[in-house]
Structure 1
């Protein structure tokens, strides 16, 4: 029994190794000329140029219509086509004297490329898609077919036509798989053919469960968290191709500061939201999300589009930062021109118009005149007080300087004899204190404001100096 099963298994493997689709190169008919794109082609009318009686013309007959009769541009009856393209393909007929002499079929094709395809499935309820992208654009007559059958069964392979999408520049083949056959293994192969030949791919064994690849999540949003300068709230939704009612995804989130190059990743996120707890303060962050089937079947989706957000910032911190520049002038001051424009607040918000109605003016306000009067009066009062103090201490300093000057003169002349006073001139006759000066004598007492020497002589503040008693000079003739 085991021998029979082993023989059957070997037979199936041999059948699979032989390929699902036979590859055969189409035979080129004797009247067919195969050329590649961008080369020059010469179509002969006769084997030899002798025996041509009458004018020679060529006609191109395609599936759409026939062209007018065209005579060869050079000598002879051969037709020269320069740098042929795909639309030059068709049947060319040569007429001599109005009679058909020869007909040739020109095929402008590129040999097809061997397809290197891969298959994936967006969800458990979607079809399997097999895709590949050729290195160059295929010709319009290129045909691609996918062959598929269940592996290790006696069923025949079925054919699925593939389509080429010009915008995406790739071939796409579709395989319908019921949800109950998720664990079934399929044998898949692709063949590509054109007028220049055909080629087939290697067979692949795929499982509908193992080729699951969801689309990336959508609507990724990054928002700040109130009163949390290091947190970010991230929200996203399932892709439209995945129905979360029966099958779910788990997600992976990666984020980085905008000025950083390395990502931080968070795995096994079950919900469609996440709070980041270690964001940089006041820095913009970039976040991406991708998904995987909840039981780990298949592969991760591509990363979603980038979403950006900045953590919450305390308004008081912003005011503290801007307060560093509070000593500077506001930016809306105008220093150019003859007029000085004040900011709207706090200088004023309205002016009185000619008709008596208040006219709001947010860019210019008038300073009241009494402001200048108060400032000027305060300046004059302060100046007067300062002058009175300076004059008072200047008078005291002057008297102190005169006393010290006379004492020094006496000390410098020690040879002058000190003669006692004469009996005829008792010291009691000379008053010890000088009489008060009259108003017209020029001495104005303590506040002598007519003498301006205080502006030139440095003042010396302090208590009044002690006056030494003046020595009585001897009178002439009283020795």
Structure 2
């Protein structure tokens, strides 16, 4: 048997971020130490001495959403989160300017493909994050990094308003790992890295291997250094009607020759 030591809450840790700029931002919070009894949270957001409407997140209980009342405002926002339980309460306040919390989500649907007949090139393409609401008015720039799996050092390329890039210095036949990050072209910070993709430059197809196969001919056409027992032998004297005629007239011819003499 043991007893839990229930305690009042300590100051919550609060973070805010805009991944849907310029629509709004969200704030999330958590307690760094457990209280072992239920706690609730009260959130207040101030801008230009006005309280803003706070919408609770339907999925994450420790998150809320706030719309920007105006864009390009230089006035700071002040977010106050108070944790409350049966033993007490504690508050934390976070102040920031609009531009400081802009951070897009990572690029999506990143692909990398070999280019036929180019053993040192890879074609990389991606899409802007679906959560970024107005890519035409607020374009993003991208940061691409890539390296062969056999190396630890990354190579980097920064791209302005482009969602594709051709790597031209890849090592032939080596598998590469590739990631992309995104950032608003004017304000904010870089997103987290995208999900890594792997690709290998084009490798030449090997030449087909030719082999010599001995053909087994039928017996009647196959030659052999030893004469067959069925090979033709020395010709015999002709037999038949012609031979019998010569034999029948032989005595008569002999008598006529003697008479003439």
Instruction: Give, in angstroms, the shift of residue 233 of structure 1.
Output: 0.2
Give the whole-Å Cα distance in 1 for the aligned partners of 2:59 and 2:8: 19
Q: Which ranges in structure 1 are unaligned for 5 or more consecutive residues?
A: 1-37, 40-82, 84-107, 328-344, 348-365, 382-479
Give the whole-Å Cα distance in 2 for the aligned partners of 1:314 and 1:124: 46
SS at match of 1:210: helix
Instruction: Give, in angstroms, the shift of residue 273 of structure 1.
Output: 0.2
Residue 270 in structure 1 maps to residue 168 in structure 2? no
Give the 3 Å change call, closer, same or farther, for CA 367–273 of structure 1 in structure 2: same
Give the whole-Å Cα distance in 1 for the aligned partners of 2:181 and 2:37: 38
Give the whole-Å Cα distance in 2 for the aligned partners of 1:273 and 1:226: 17
Could you tell me whether the CA contact under 8 Å between 2:9 and 2:90 is conserved in 1?
yes
Could you tell me whether the CA contact under 8 Å between 1:254 and 1:289 is conserved in 2?
yes
Highest relative contact order (Cα 8 Å, sep 6+), 1 or 2?
2
Match of residue 148 from structure 1: 45
2:177 to 286, 291, 299: 286
Give the whole-Å Cα distance in 2 for the aligned partners of 1:278 and 1:192: 54
Instruction: Give, in angstroms, the shift of residue 291 of structure 1.
Output: 0.5
2:10 to 101, 107, 113: 113
1:219 to 109, 114, 120: 109
Match of residue 80 from structure 2: 189
Greater fraction strand: 2
Instruction: Give, in angstroms, the shift of residue 133 of structure 1.
Output: 3.5
Give the whole-Å Cα distance in 2 for the aligned partners of 1:161 and 1:113: 24
User: C-alpha deviations, 1:369-422, integer Å up to 9, x for none?
Assistant: 439943xx14x59xxxxxxxxxxxxxxxxxxxxxxxxxxxxxxxxxxxxxxxxx
User: C-alpha deviations, 1:238-269, integer Å up to 9, x for none?
Assistant: 11111212110000000011222221111134
Once the two structures are superposed, the pairs formed by residues 428-443 of structure 1 within 5 Å of their partners are: none
Residue 249 in structure 1 maps to residue 140 in structure 2? yes
Match of residue 219 from structure 2: 370
Could you tell me whether the CA contact under 8 Å between 1:142 and 1:193 is conserved in 2?
yes
Give the whole-Å Cα distance in 2 for the aligned partners of 1:114 and 1:165: 23
Instruction: Give, in angstroms, the shift of residue 176 of structure 1.
Output: 1.9
TM (norm. structure 1) is: 0.42
Could you tell me whether the CA contact under 8 Å between 2:55 and 2:66 is conserved in 1?
no
Instruction: Give, in angstroms, the shift of residue 162 of structure 1.
Output: 5.6
SS at match of 2:126: strand
Match of residue 120 from structure 2: 230
Match of residue 304 from structure 1: 194
Give the whole-Å Cα distance in 2 for the aligned partners of 1:223 and 1:179: 43
Give the whole-Å Cα distance in 2 for the aligned partners of 1:308 and 1:127: 35
Cα RMSD for the two superposed structures: 3.2
User: C-alpha deviations, 1:104-149, integer Å up to 9, x for none?
Assistant: xxxx954223212111101323321112333466667411122221
SS at match of 1:184: coil
Q: Which ranges in structure 2 are unaligned for 5 or more consecutive residues?
A: 228-261
Give the whole-Å Cα distance in 2 for the aligned partners of 1:238 and 1:261: 27
Give the 3 Å change call, closer, same or farther, for CA 161–274 of structure 1 in structure 2: closer
Q: How many equivalent residue pairs?
A: 225
TM (norm. structure 2) is: 0.74
Could you tell me whether the CA contact under 8 Å between 1:145 and 1:161 is conserved in 2?
no
Match of residue 96 from structure 2: 206
SS at match of 2:219: helix
SS at match of 2:120: strand
- Look at both structures and tell me which one has the larger radius of gyration over its CA atoms: 1
Residue 126 in structure 1 maps to residue 23 in structure 2? yes
